[in-house]
Amino acid sequence: MNAWIAISPLLLLVVGGLLTMLVDAFSKEGKGEVATVTAATLFLAAGVSFAALLNGQDPQDVPEIFGAYLATDRLGLFFDVAIGLGGGLSALLAGGYLREHGLERGEFYILLLFSAFGAMVLARSTDMLTLFVGLETMSIGVYALAGFRRGSPRSIESALKYYLLGSFAAAILLFGAALIYAGTAHTDFAGIGAAVEGGHADVKLVLFGLLLVLVGLAFKVSAVPFHMWTPDVYEGAPTPATTFMSVVVKAAAFAVFVRVVITAFGDEMSSSSAGGWPPVLAGLAVVTMVYGNLAAIAQNSVKRMLAYSSIAHAGYILVGLAASSVVGQRAISAVLFYLMAYTVSNVLAFGSLILMGSRGREAVSFDDLAGVGRRHPLAALPFIIAVLTLMGFPPTAGFIGKYYVFSSAVEAGGGFIWLAVLGVLASAVGAYYYLRILVAMFMKDPIPGEPVAVPMRSGSVVAALVISGLAVMQMGLMPGDMLDLAVAAAEQLFAG
């Protein structure tokens, strides 16, 4: 019975997905029931996981009926919360966005639900095979979501680009998994870890395999230099799909990233600062932070800017991940907290952007936002909070997240301190382009003659903004509870 509770979020999504199909078949066009059902399903999944986390289920009680394939641990539950929350909020955003821009079709939500299911499987996978299956389940749905605006060449381009490059990355990852299997005779992370630690592995083969797996994962979290697809795809996809990609896909990919480096390659050789994955991740973090932040400056489209900003955030998270080789649990809990904070923050940012467009005219560039803050101060409020939290400004979730990640890097000592210094300098650069949003909204006037942005009126978008905005402030002002959950999840990962 316990095991069913432990994976109940997954089951909920499957049942909810089937239900949504039915609701979609029987409801009239543009009624919004499908969006509501989808969001409710995802929020329910998040709520169930959250309750399980709070109750502090002991992992030993859970029979591993899924063998070594699917984890039923706190880390999995933690990411269920992040994915359920991110997915549910994206569905709410879609509920307003799709109707406003004449794209209201039920498939969107069904794809979103099943993709979120894939993300949860990915986040819980403890085996190369489940990893791949989860990854593909998630990705195929997202490919379709990216191309959802069928009439728009950009959307199609976005989907095609994402699909081709994504498949390529998945193939590399699979190849890496195969090499690791060849080197260790294991596909499950624990088995791989035991084999490498015990010296039964062909080290060269395994290390090369690990490198390929890291490349595949780096693609999914859009770390430089595997980020090329991100700006185009984020820009071309409908904004709720972009939101979904930027939070759910990233969270799930980082979840499995954590599992791979800690469970499968947590041994001393692979995680030594001289060789193995820490220097690779540190290097990735450096180029990702620097490039992401610098490239974001040059953008004229807010959506593209947010795409680069999400690349930069992947860089900060990688700092924490690299530091986990030294301070382990503390760094992992920082990464977990950061991902949760990033999820609500990014939803808030994209949601604010969605709110600013109406009647078939989306707000995309900085010029579109000119003067909006003066005309509609209340509608601009979520954007202010979003900018502050993405910038890492107190007292928001983004600040605590950044603080926690960098503090774990400082604690790791040595070269990681310089990684943290570089990180804060990069985020100072980040302040510049985030401020451009505030400059546009409050300090610029619209170009005379150009149509001005009018915020849309949509209950579900407002609901998403209120939820994510409150979460951002809650995690900024009272971070204790979420920190405890993250620490407990990381603790269990290292204990088990």
Partner 1 sequence: MSESLLTTLLTIPAIGALVVLFLPRQWPNAVRRVSVGFMLLTFAVSLLLIPEVAEYLQEPMARLLGSDILIPTYAGGEMHYVQQSVWVESLGISYKVGIDGISLWLVLLTTLLTPIALYGSWTSIGTKVKEYAAAFLLLEVGMLGAFFALDLFLFYVFWELMLVPMYFIIGIWGGKDRVYAAVKFFLYTMVGSLLMLVAILYVVGSYEDVTGHYTFDLIALYDLVLPFEDQLLLFSAFALAFMIKVPMFPFHTWLPDAHVQAPTGGSVILAAVLLKLGTYGFLRFAMPLFPLASQYLGPSIAILGLIGIVYGAYCAWVQRDVKKLVAYSSVSHMGFIALGIFAMTPHGLNGALIQMVNHGVSTGALFLLVGVIYERRHTRDIDAFGGLAKVMPWYTAVFVLVAMSSIGLPGTNGFIGEFLIMAGAFFSNRGFIGYGPWGTIFTLVAATGVILAAIYMLHVTLKMFWGPLSKKENMGLPDLTRREWTALAPLILFIFWIGWSPATFLDRSEPAIVQFLADFDAKWESSSTDDSLRLLHPAPAAPAAEVEAAVEVPAADDSLAALVANPVPSREVVR
Residues in contact with partner 1 by CB under 8 A are 374, 377, 388, 393-395, 399, 403-404, 406-407, 410-411, 417, 420-421, 424-425, 427-428, 431-432, 435, 438-439, 442-444, 478-480, 483-484, 487
Give 146 or 400: the residue with its C-beta nearer to partner 1.
400
Contact 310, 234 (CB under 8 A): yes
| DSSP state string for 435-494 | HHHHIIIII--PPTTSPPP-----HHHHHHHHHHHHHHHHHHH-THHHHHHHHHHHHHHH
What lies within 8 Å, CB to CB, of 425 at 6+ separation is none
**How far apart are the C-alpha atoms of 391 and 253, rounded to whole Å?**
23
Report in angstroms how near the CB of residue 158 gets to partner 1 at its nearest.
32
Q: From the CB of 28, what's the least distance to partner 1, in Å?
A: 41
Give SS3 for 358. Answer: strand
CB of 145 to partner 1, least distance (A): 35
Q: 323 — phi, psi (to 5°)?
A: -70, -20
Contact in structure between 155 and 148 (CB atoms under 8 Å): yes
Nearest approach, Cβ of 49 to partner 1 (angstroms)?
A: 21
Q: By C-beta, is 161 or 330 nearer to partner 1?
A: 330
Q: How far apart are CA 168 and CA 143, in angstroms?
A: 13
Q: What is the closest distance, in whole angstroms, from the C-beta atom of residue 419 to partner 1 in the complex? A: 10
Angle 474-424-341 from CA coordinates, rounded to 5°: 25
Least separation, in Å, of the C-beta of 276 and partner 1? 24
**CA geometry: angle 269, 189, 481, nearest 5 deg:** 95
Is residue 495 exposed (0-12), middle (13-18) or buried (19+ Cβ within 10 Å)?
exposed
Residue nearer to partner 1 on the CB measure, 146 or 385: 385
Closest separation between CB of residue 439 and partner 1, Å? 5
- Min dist CB 475 to partner 1, Å, is 11
Q: Which residues contact 138 (CB under 8 A, 6 or more apart)?
A: 115, 116, 117, 118, 119, 121, 122, 248, 249, 252
Which CB atom, from 40 or from 438, has the smaller least distance to partner 1? 438
Extract the runs of DSSP E, i.e. beta strands, from 174-234: none
CA distances to 87, 246, 398, 402 from 343, in Å: 10, 8, 10, 13
- Residue 168: partners with Cβ closer than 8 Å, 6 or more residues away: none
Nearer to partner 1, 338 or 404 (CB): 404
427 in Cβ contact with 402 (< 8 Å): yes
CB of 70 to partner 1, least distance (A): 30
Query: CB 421 → partner 1: shortest distance, Å?
Result: 6
**Residue 304 parent element (H or E):** helix 302-327
Q: Is 334 left (phi over 0), alpha (psi -120 to 50) or beta?
A: alpha
In angstroms, rounded to a whole number, what is the distance separating the alpha carbons of residues 112 and 96? Answer: 15
> In the numeric block, which tokens belong to residue 393?
């400004």
Query: Degrees (nearest 5) of the Cα angle 419, 405, 290?
Result: 40
Q: How far is the CB of 428 from partner 1 (least distance, A)?
A: 4
Q: In the complex with partner 1, which residue's Cβ is closer, 107 or 481?
A: 481
CA–CA distances in Å: residue 243 to residues 221, 234, 418: 14, 8, 32
Q: Which is nearer to partner 1, 102 or 480 (CB)?
A: 480
In the complex with partner 1, the residue whose CB is nearer, 377 or 459, is: 377
> CB of residue 53 vs partner 1: minimum separation in angstroms?
16
- CB-wise, 182 or 425, nearer to partner 1? 425
Confirm if 297 and 231 have CB atoms less than 8 A apart. Answer: no
When the beta carbons of 44 and 439 are compared against partner 1, the nearer one is 439
CB nearer to partner 1: give 225 or 377.
377
Closest separation in Å from C-beta 449 to partner 1: 22
- Closer to partner 1 by Cβ: residue 90 or 427: 427
Give the nearer residue to partner 1 in terms of CB position, either 72 or 333: 333
